[in-house]
Structure formats: C-alpha cells, structure tokens
Chains A and B, each alone.
Chain A
Amino acid sequence: MALLRQISTKAGINVKSITLRCCTKMLSTEITDEKLIEKKQGGYAQAFDKFESLKNEENKEPYQTFASLLRNSKLIDLGDPEGKVVKGKIFHVVGDDLYIDFGWKFHCVCPRPKKHASDYVRGSKVRILIKELELSSKFLGYEKDITLLEADCVLLGLAQDRSKNVQ
C-alpha cells in the first residue's frame, strides 16, 4: 500500500489507473477511492534520508590526480632518505637473515640482532634506518649502473604497534 502511494505521488497519476494496468491480484484488493494527497515528509523522514545519503557518499573517494597522489605520498615526505627511520615488516626469514619490506620498490635484508632474537619472525613490525634506497652504482668500464635490487638499511629494533584498531 505504501509503495503504491509512493508511485502515485511521483507519477502524478491516480492510484486506480495504475492498478488497472497492473494485472496482479495482489494490487486489485488495494483499490480505494482516496484522493491524491501530496505527502510532505516529516522531520524525522527528512533527517533519515539525509543521513542515509551521507553514508553512501562517504564510500566514494574523491578523484585524485597522479601529481597530487605523489605530492602527498610518504616518499616525498621522507625527503633525503639517508638517515631516516621507517617502519617495516618482515616478510621472509632465511636462517639469520631477515627480509624486510618498508613500502619501497625494494626490500632490505638485515641480520637478526642478538637481543630479543626470537621475536623476529615473519610478520613482525620493525624499525629500520635507511642508508641507501637502492644499492646501485657505476662500475669501472660500464656506462650504466649495476643494481643489486635491494635497499641498504640498519635494523634498529622492534616497532611498537601504535594503531588504534584492535586487530
């Protein structure tokens, strides 16, 4: 019944004429002689609609250009990478070598420290000091650099997980 009224107010057609076209038994019992009353939404209904649409809009992120994405990225915030401390995560362990990914193109490999040695496992968050973002330099006789496809960092220790979300 409520649906019918919505349809009639939007289309501006009398309720009866719609039900004549729809040949369903369900609708035929709903025919009444009510006049069309334009319903003005009450205060609660207005507020409800407003906040419902707000929820939908929050999901859509505003379109960002590549230039603005880059300008606001962590790489630009870093500045000169040498000597900066960043947070990384261990994604692989081979014996005493820890492979740490810190959001850059390459990972770094650091030896396991003596203190709290057993705490360094796959998935541990660590703090590292960057010495070089990419181990690549020109060797004598070559025109181009030769890269080792790795970053050069020093492992400082474990990082405290200060995120607000309880995982």
Chain B
Amino acid sequence: MFSVVHLPKKLNKSTLLNTIRLSSTVLQTQDTVPTLPDAENLQKNTLNHPDYFSVHNLFTVKDLFDARVHYGHRDGSLDERMLPYIYGSRLGHIIFDLDKTAEYLRRALNFAAHVAYRDGIILFFLRGAQNSHLVEKTAQECGEFAHTKFWRGGIFTNASKQFGAVTRLPDLCIFLNTLNNVLLQHTAVRDSAKMGIATIGIVDSNCNPNLITYPVPGNDDSPASIELYCKLFKMAILRGKEKRKIDLQL
C-alpha cells in the first residue's frame, strides 16, 4: 500500500483508486477465464451475441428527442467530419439525425456493458462545471471512475513517472463531452488513442469524431441530455456487472 505522503498533491480520487486497485493484494480476476466446463463456449456466446445485455431497449428515439439530444450548434461552428451524422440545419442551427444517433448509442452501450462484464476499468470524462457533480455521482453509483477536472499532460502517456509506480490504465474512456473549457479537443482523446484505450465519446456538431472508437453524435451542452447519457451508461454498466456475477456464479 502507498503512504499518502509520497503521492503528488494534484492527485485526485480516481487515479488514487486506480493505483490502490493495482497494488492491493486482492486477486485480479479480469485475465483469468472462468474454470467452468464450457468456458470457451460461454465467451464465444457472449461476444457473438448481438445484444447480450439487452441494452438495445434501454431507450427509444422519443427519449432522445425529449432529452434534446438532436440540437446542435450553429452552421458556422460545424466540423465537416460531423456531416454524415446530421439530419439538416434549421434556420442556422444543426439538427442531428436521431435514427443514426440511436444506432451509434446502442453500439456504445453494448460495448460499455461488455467491458464492465469483463471487469474493465471505465473512466468518465466531462469538462464543464454545470454537470460535473452528476457525472462523478454516476461513476460512483456504478462502481467506476470519473475525471472532471483539469487534465495534466502525461497522465496516460507518462503514468509510471507521474504516479511513481507501474499503473494500470483504464480499459474504456467515456467522454460525455469531447471539448474542454476552451473549446479545444480534450487531450485525453488523443492520449487514449496513443495508449490503445478504447473510447466512447458524445460528439457535438463542433467536435472531431475521428479519434474516438465509438462516437455518439448528439447534444453535449444541455443538462437534460447529459442526465440521459449518465443514466443510460450507468444502467448498461450495471447490467454488465450483474451478468458477470451470474455467469461466473459468484
């Protein structure tokens, strides 16, 4: 166990939990395949199933519509790479195609549930004071981690130097908005891509979806939308964890 004195001052709860988790003497179960007679078949069945955790029916297009997910920014701040996801523009304001958003969101929820099923570490990101507390609470409720403060450069890329020991990086980063407070892309998007960490990101009309593994085009500015995303990801992750308990008969 670390003594707290040696840790850098800016360390927050999420990274501290990361390191404690690694250095603890509790057995890490994520790499071991369950020693049941049909373990290989179980793994094949879970991975080949199109919707093993039934996350496809967690929401409807009407729910997305009511949570204002289809609202985008103005035409002037549109990123050309977001054009495939857009329905059109209403008097200068971009509208997202919710049918496409629903499809992408289902893929993202399924992936998050699978990562939780295999005991992966999930890190939520959000930059924006209005909804920070909600995201941190969501992460706590589903037993995962959140980082909603200023992101220092080398947290992923220079982890062993910054934390003073070998660190385990997250397996999935969920960006509830991909831009930071000065409307530039969050450094962690690029760094996750560098370190081979899968990312899910809510991309608004002024964002760049290129580096994100599972982009979800939609509104990231209204509190109603962020609440909906938090609720959906929490439910997907909890379902993944429940299934893990059942399948491994814990």
A associates with B: yes
Residues of A at the B interface (CB closer than 8 Å) are: 61, 64-66, 69-70, 73, 75-76, 79-81, 103-106, 133-134, 136-138, 144-147, 149
Tell me whether A69 and B206 are in contact (CB under 8 A): no
Say yes or no: B73 contacts A133, CB within 8 Å: no
Asked if B65 contacts A136 (CB within 8 A), the reply is no
Which parts of B55-73 form the interface with A (CB within 8 Å)? 61-62, 65, 68, 70-73
Q: Could you say which residues of chain B place their CB within 8 Å of the CB of A106?
A: 221-222
* Bound complex: CA A70 to CA B62 (Å): 10
**Whole-angstrom distance from the CB of B150 to the nearest CB of chain A?**
18
Query: Which residues of A lie under 8 Å from residue B62 when comparing CB positions?
Result: 61, 64, 69
Q: Separation in Å of the A91 CB from the closest CB of chain B?
A: 8
Q: A105-B221, A134-B73 are contacts. A70–B95 as well, Cβ < 8 Å?
A: yes
B202 interface hit (Cβ, 8 Å): no
- B98 within 8 Å of A (CB atoms): yes
Nearest-Cβ distance from residue B206 to partner chain A, whole angstroms: 7
The number of inter-chain residue pairs (CB within 8 angstroms) is 65
A144 touches B76 (CB 8 A): yes
| Interface residue B99 (Cβ < 8 Å from any Cβ of A) | yes
Roughly how many angstroms separate A121 CA and B65 CA in the complex, as a whole number?
28
Query: Which chain B residues lie closer than 8 Å to A146 at the CB level?
Result: 77, 183
Mostly helix, strand, loop or mixed at chain B's interface? mixed
Give CA–CA (A144, B78) in the complex, Å. 8
Residue of A nearest to B221 (CB): A105
Contact pick for A136, options B70, B71, B76, B79, CB 8 Å: B76
Contact A147 B77 (CB under 8 A): yes
- Residue from A66, A81, A138, A149 whose CB has the most chain B CB atoms within 10 Å: A66
B93 within 8 A of A: yes
Q: Contact between B61 and A145 (Cβ–Cβ < 8 Å)? A: no
Contact between B76 and A138, CB atoms less than 8 A apart: yes
Binding site for A on B (CB under 8 A): 61-62, 65, 68, 70-74, 76-79, 87, 90-91, 93, 95, 97-99, 183, 206, 219, 221-222
Give the residue name and chain of the A residue nearest to B71 (CB): A105
B98 touches A136 (CB 8 A): no
Q: Do A66 and B91 touch across chains, with their CB atoms under 8 A apart?
A: no
Q: Which of A64, A133, A136 contacts B77 (CB 8 A)?
A: A136
In the assembled complex, the CB of B69 is this many whole angstroms from the nearest CB of chain A, namely 10
What distance in Å separates the Cβ of A95 from its nearest Cβ neighbour in chain B? 17
Which residues of B sit under 8 angstroms from A80, Cβ to Cβ?
Answer: 91
When distances are taken between beta carbons in the complex, the residues of chain A under 8 Å from B99 are 65-66
| Interchain Cβ contacts under 8 Å between A and B, 14 examples | A64-B61, A69-B65, A70-B87, A79-B91, A81-B91, A104-B68, A105-B221, A136-B74, A138-B76, A144-B206, A145-B73, A145-B76, A146-B183, A147-B74
Query: Min CB distance, A5 to chain B, in Å?
Result: 38
Please determine whether A147 and B71 come into contact, CB atoms closer than 8 angstroms: no
List the A side residues contacting B183 at CB < 8 Å: 146-147
Q: Are B70 and A133 in contact (CB under 8 A)?
A: no
Pairs A-B, 4 closest by C-beta atoms:
A145-B76, A105-B71, A145-B77, A66-B98
Q: How far is the CB of B232 from chain A (nearest CB, A)?
A: 18
Closest residue of chain B to A82, judged by CB? Answer: B91
- Minimum CB distance partner of B225 in chain A: A105
Instruction: Report the Cα distance A65→B222, complex, angstroms.
Output: 23
How many whole Å from B140's CB to the nearest CB in chain A? 23
Q: Bound state CA distance, A146 and B95, in angstroms?
A: 19
Report the bound CA distance from A66 to B183 in whole Å.
Answer: 29
Given contacts A70-B70, A73-B65, 17 further A-B contacts (CB under 8 A): A65-B61, A66-B65, A66-B87, A66-B97, A66-B99, A69-B65, A70-B87, A79-B91, A105-B221, A106-B221, A106-B222, A136-B74, A145-B74, A145-B77, A146-B77, A146-B183, A147-B74
The minimal Cβ–Cβ distance linking A64 to chain B, given in whole angstroms, is: 7
